[in-house]
Structure 1
Amino acid sequence: MTTTSAGLTAPFALARYRDGDAVRLGLVAGDRIRPLTAEDLGASDLNAFLAASDWDRLAALVGTGESLPLADVVLTAPVEPRQVLQTGANYREHVIELVAAGLTQNSDRTPEEARAFASSMMDERKANGEPYFFIGLPACVVGDDVPLVLPGYSEVHDWELELAVVIGREAFQVSREDALEHVAGYTIVNDITTRDLVFRKDMKEIGTDWYRAKNAPGFLPTGPFLVPAPFIDGADATVRLELNGEVMQNSSTADLLFDIPALIAGASQTMPLLPGDILLTGSPAGNGQHWKRFLRDGDVMTGSISGLGTQIVRCVGEAS
């Protein structure tokens, strides 16, 4: 796989790349990557650096030292999170579509009435509700160098491209006003979901089963870059996913019901968010469930988010 910085607009970013059996941290600037040592970071490892991310220190290293052509290395996931928090039902238009469709099918409301009712529900939720969080397994975080193996136990594996917040300084019970002080940077995550496992069939009262639906190996393709927060406008970033060259998702984080400060503040009330953790912000309309088309062997997903580069995920069917 050829690695490029297409879509990466920041003057520099972090990435992790394969060096034989090891994985090394590097500083990406333009079409080159410079290996980073603990001495370069002023910290023992990536997460220790993110805890007090000194981006000026890294900016001073751009153009210095030995570097490699980015095209000659294989990038992997740019983060090593200890916790992965995910956000559900967080794009206003997407949720309105889902609610309105359900109302149209299950009541005598016209489509216009159903949409108006759903819109008022979402406005009320945004004003007085709370974000909906669940957790993923850090072991599912992989780079797009790893093919996405589609488990053979289902034929309804779906995509959900998302802007992911990378936590810097530890955040515990922080306010919305202080939340962005705890953001080190941003990256791309494709949150893969097996649709027919989302709801328990044996005991519907239990509700959703996110463990089985979202945590198969490789179900969180991440990266390829970790871009410093000062270079990204997380409040208005375009989230776009193409499947085999056809646009499936194309929206903006401006449509989030709960914005990034609200998500960080909300998630941090229960458990400290640690340096290097990732917080997924939700996925816009246009997933496979909407199109009635799910992932198949040979599919190629190309995901991009403003300023964060391009992620290419290749799907393979599980060997029988």
Structure 2
Amino acid sequence: MKLARFTVEGRTRLGKVVGDEIFDLSAIVPELDGSMRALIEHFDQLRDVLETVADGKYLLSEVTLEAPIHDPRKYLAIGMNYQAHADEAAAAGHAVPTSQLWFNKQVTCINGPYSDVDVPKSAPNMVDYEAELGVVIGKRCRHVPLEEASSVIAGYFVCNDVTARDWQFRSPTFTLGKSFDTHGPIGPWITTADEIADPHALTLTLELNGEERQRSSTGDMIYNIYEQIAYLTQVMTLEPGDLIATGTPAGVGIAGDRFMREGDVVRVAIDGLGAIENRFVEEN
């Protein structure tokens, strides 16, 4: 199932995407008050009724797709998790971690799948893109064994881990450079885990103004998704709706000294999950 948040007629609602149509779920789950986090938390109980929804239909072209989750408690991301990207970072003089490298993207960065992304006034020169596979946690969990990690995943989405490199490098942690408002476009919807046979066998691509800049299989991760979850839950409780960005492959802008400018359009696509596309604009 593909679960989305969408706005039509001035109201944002929960929806189910089927082909080029979206079905309004609001009448089915009014008690959730439009919360995707709540829907994910109760998805196992609601799945059967959601599958039968056939009313309240709109064309996708008639609605605005919003970030599928706009209010997660956590948005965590792993750095240098594709070998080719780690190699290009090392070639640029950056230390390559010997264990999983995690940082926060503050949740106020979250942005819609087709919304504009700011080139900030305070970071106008080194804004970069990073195509990534995103994971949504479906169950409250701690100390998850590696072999059980798949069971706590609700689904997957496409994301661009937009980064202000100058702010990233001036701080002992990556958080500031990763957390500017609008720098977390995600979507276009959440594809539930049962629809993805193997999340480590997906092709991920990024195009800048129509030119391909990144292409990789998600199987090229150094630490796979299940290893990431097992590692994180040694430290913290993950909760329904928490987001994880699983790393970017080679080809980021900094490797070629090509940063985002006013009018640039970045498209990130992943097999089976759809695509997001965002225009970069100067911050007002």
After superposition, residues 168-247 of structure 1 pair within 5 angstroms as 168-200=138-170, 208-232=172-196, 233-247=198-212
1:316 is aligned, of 272, 281, 284, to 281
1:299 is matched with which residue? 264
Shift of 1:189: 1.1
Shift of 1:303: 0.8
1:35 is aligned, of 16, 24, 40, to 24
> Which has more strand, going by share of residues?
2
Note the alpha carbon deviations across 1:123-144, whole angstroms, 9 max, x for none.
Answer: xx8xxx5321111111111103
Matched-pair identity in %? 37
**Cα distance in 2, alignment partners of residues 101 and 149 from structure 1:** 26
Shift of 1:23: 1.6
1:8 is matched with which residue? none
Q: Report if aligned partners of 2:103, 2:173 keep a CA contact under 8 Å in 1.
A: no
1:77 is matched with which residue? 67
Q: Report if aligned partners of 2:24, 2:57 keep a CA contact under 8 Å in 1.
A: yes
Q: Report if aligned partners of 1:41, 1:58 keep a CA contact under 8 Å in 2.
A: no
Change (3 A) 1:34 1:312: same
**Cα distance in 2, alignment partners of residues 222 and 156 from structure 1:** 21
SS of alignment partner, residue 229 of structure 2: helix
Change (3 A) 1:58 1:134: farther
SS of alignment partner, residue 169 of structure 2: coil
Note the alpha carbon deviations across 1:16-59, whole angstroms, 9 max, x for none.
Answer: 01135532110110111111137448966422331243374256
2:132 is matched with which residue? 162
Matched AA of 2:163: T
**Cα distance in 2, alignment partners of residues 281 and 41 from structure 1:** 33
Q: Report if aligned partners of 1:167, 1:182 keep a CA contact under 8 Å in 2.
A: yes
Q: Report if aligned partners of 2:80, 2:86 keep a CA contact under 8 Å in 1.
A: yes
**Cα distance in 2, alignment partners of residues 38 and 268 from structure 1:** 36
Q: CA RMSD in A?
A: 2.2
Note the alpha carbon deviations across 1:231-276, whole angstroms, 9 max, x for none.
Answer: 1221111110000000001011111010000001111111111101
Matched AA of 2:7: R
Structure 2 unpaired stretches of 5+: none
**Cα distance in 1, alignment partners of residues 169 and 137 from structure 2:** 30
2:251 is matched with which residue? 286
Relative to the length of structure 1, the TM-score reads 0.81
2:84 is aligned, of 87, 93, 110, to 93
1:50 is aligned, of 40, 43, 52, to 40
1:252 is aligned, of 217, 227, 244, to 217
1:139 is matched with which residue? 108
2:117 is matched with which residue? 148
Note the alpha carbon deviations across 1:182-232, whole angstroms, 9 max, x for none.
Answer: 0000001101111111222xxxxxx53423211111010010110011112
**Cα distance in 2, alignment partners of residues 256 and 37 from structure 1:** 38
**Cα distance in 2, alignment partners of residues 177 and 38 from structure 1:** 38
Q: Which has the larger radius of gyration?
A: 1
Change (3 A) 1:317 1:42: closer
**Cα distance in 1, alignment partners of residues 102 and 214 from structure 2:** 22
SS of alignment partner, residue 177 of structure 1: helix
Structure 1 unpaired stretches of 5+: 1-11, 104-117, 201-206
Q: Report if aligned partners of 1:41, 1:49 keep a CA contact under 8 Å in 2.
A: no
Q: Report if aligned partners of 2:110, 2:184 keep a CA contact under 8 Å in 1.
A: yes
**Cα distance in 2, alignment partners of residues 273 and 144 from structure 1:** 24
2:227 is aligned, of 234, 238, 262, to 262
Q: Report if aligned partners of 2:4, 2:189 keep a CA contact under 8 Å in 1.
A: yes
SS of alignment partner, residue 238 of structure 2: coil
Relative to the length of structure 2, the TM-score reads 0.91
Change (3 A) 1:213 1:296: same
**Cα distance in 2, alignment partners of residues 100 and 155 from structure 1:** 21
